[in-house]
Structure 1
Amino acid sequence: MDMVKTTEYARALYTAQGPKAEAEIARKIQDCKDKGQDAEAQDWQAVRRAIISMRGPHQG
């Protein structure tokens, strides 16, 4: 997933779910890893990093 798509997805997910978005992403990352879908897990990691960046420091 490219950076623009990652940022758009992260923004939409965070807008829809707020702070719960990170927990949902963590579940998705683990699910992908359990299924051996490493590339998809990396995409979710990128989305998670984008959300962390949007939140700013010391928020969670």
Structure 2
Amino acid sequence: MDAMQISHYAGALYRAHGPKAEAEASQRAQACEVAGRMDEAEDWRQIRAAICRRRPARET
């Protein structure tokens, strides 16, 4: 999956799940890994990372 697709999926997942999108991507990556679909699992890990980058920074 190229960078544009990853960004698109990250945005769509965030719009659909809000703050829970990161956890959703992580669960999908894990499910793909268990099923032996390593390339797809890596795509979901990259989507998760893109969601993390989009998320506003937490204030301390």
Percent of counterpart pairs with the same letter? Answer: 44
Q: What is the total number of aligned residue pairs between the two structures?
A: 59
Q: Following TM superposition, by how much is the alpha carbon of 1:27 offset from its aligned partner in structure 2, in angstroms?
A: 1.1
Unaligned runs of 5+ in 1: none
Q: Which stretches of structure 1, 4 residues or more, deviate above 4 A after TM superposition?
A: none
1:11 aligns with 2:11: yes
* CA RMSD after TM alignment: 1.4
Q: Following TM superposition, by how much is the alpha carbon of 1:23 offset from its aligned partner in structure 2, in angstroms?
A: 1.3
User: How does the TM-score come out when normalised to structure 1?
Assistant: 0.88
Unaligned runs of 5+ in 2: none
